[in-house]
Amino acid sequence: MNAHSLFPASPPRLFPLRSISSVSPSGTHRIGVSDDIAVECRNLCFSASTRPGISVPILRDCSFRIPSGQLWMLLGPNGCGKSTLLKILADVVNPTSGTVFVEKPKNFVFQNPDHQVVMPTVEADVAFGLGKYPDMSQEEVKSRVMTALDAVGMRDYMQRPIQTLSGGQKQRVAIAGALAEACKVLLLDELTTFLDESDQLGVIKAVKDLINAKKGGDVTALWVTHRLEELEYADGAVYMENGRVVRHGDAATILDFIKAKQSSYIDQIGF
Ligand SMILES: Nc1ncnc2c1ncn2[C@@H]1O[C@H](COP(=O)(O)OP(=O)(O)OP(=O)(O)O)[C@@H](O)[C@H]1O
């Protein structure tokens, strides 16, 4: 097994999650929380209808909170529910029950950059999302585009045709598009899946630098990944298995927890 990957199959859950607080399970609603929390889920559940009358639980009673101005990772074995949880946070999918809070404005960046860089040049692409503000002046648009491209180290590429960029550069442009809209929360779904090692590190460092540069807690990011080595850049992490949040907390503690589980799994299967 690759030392940096997670588990080929889910071993049994070891630790229960301490719930944040009790809420009424009757339906879902968006909640208000204190200023220093950017993301919070309480007892979040999601079930999908696979056939008429058949509903399969995908997320089960998920609770965690992420402080403002931090980079957090969302980890877990294949199919544990990471992308579904991220889509709920992004309002792409509605939960079945529980409560969710995500500071606004927020933006969701997909796994495959080719699915979201849509305009012919870098400048036009980063400005694209600002089209929803018809009253915004051209000067303001230009200034936001330049600031966002600066933040991800892509200002020199402003006039470049999109199709000439590498995968990692496209990811940075997609992130710049989210930043140009002055988003407070970035929801990032396995951005490094299609990238080579230097592009992977470049993208994650760009996000980390951006968060560090905004020390006032302006930008918070939740990053879905399978790569344990990426935890090194994170302030905190949420670890899921089988639709449940098993652990959440500071990145070093979660890394130790996952490594201990891997060792115990390897012992169990006798490698
Ligand atoms: N609309 C749906 N209908 C039926 N099953 C679904 C639906 N959405 C998600 N699932 C199932 O829910 C489980 C969780 O999917 P999800 O994509 O959230 O997992 P993941 O942790 O992101 O996986 P991976 O690491 O492989 O990307 C999977 O078994 C998936 O097949």
> To test ligand 1's pocket by mutation, which of 84, 238, 246 has the most ligand atoms within 8 angstroms of CB?
84
Q: Is the CB of 83 under 6 A from ligand 1?
A: yes
Please name the residue whose Cα sits nearest to atom 18 of ligand 1: 81
Cα(212) to centroid(ligand 1), Å? 32
Burial class of residue 204 in the structure, from the number of CB atoms within 10 Å of its CB (0-12 exposed, 13-18 middle, 19+ buried): buried
pLDDT at 31: 53
Please name the residue whose Cα sits nearest to atom 23 of ligand 1: 79
**Regions of the chain with pLDDT less than 70:** 1-35, 192-194, 214-217, 266-271
pLDDT tens digits, one per residue of 114-139: 777 778 999 999 999 899 889 999 99
Extended beta strands in 117-229, E state: 185-189, 220-224
Radius of gyration of the chain (CA): 19
Q: Is the CB of 81 under 6 A from ligand 1?
A: yes
Q: Which atom of ligand 1 is nearest to the CA of 189?
A: 22
Q: Is the CB of 50 under 6 A from ligand 1?
A: yes
Q: Is the CB of 184 under 6 A from ligand 1?
A: no
Reported ipTM: 0.97
Element containing residue 107 per DSSP (H, E): strand 106-109
Q: Is the CB of 92 under 6 A from ligand 1?
A: no
pTM: 0.81
Alpha carbon 71 to chain centroid, angstroms: 9
pLDDT tens digits, one per residue of 136-192: 999 999 999 998 898 888 999 999 999 999 888 888 898 889 888 888 999 998 876
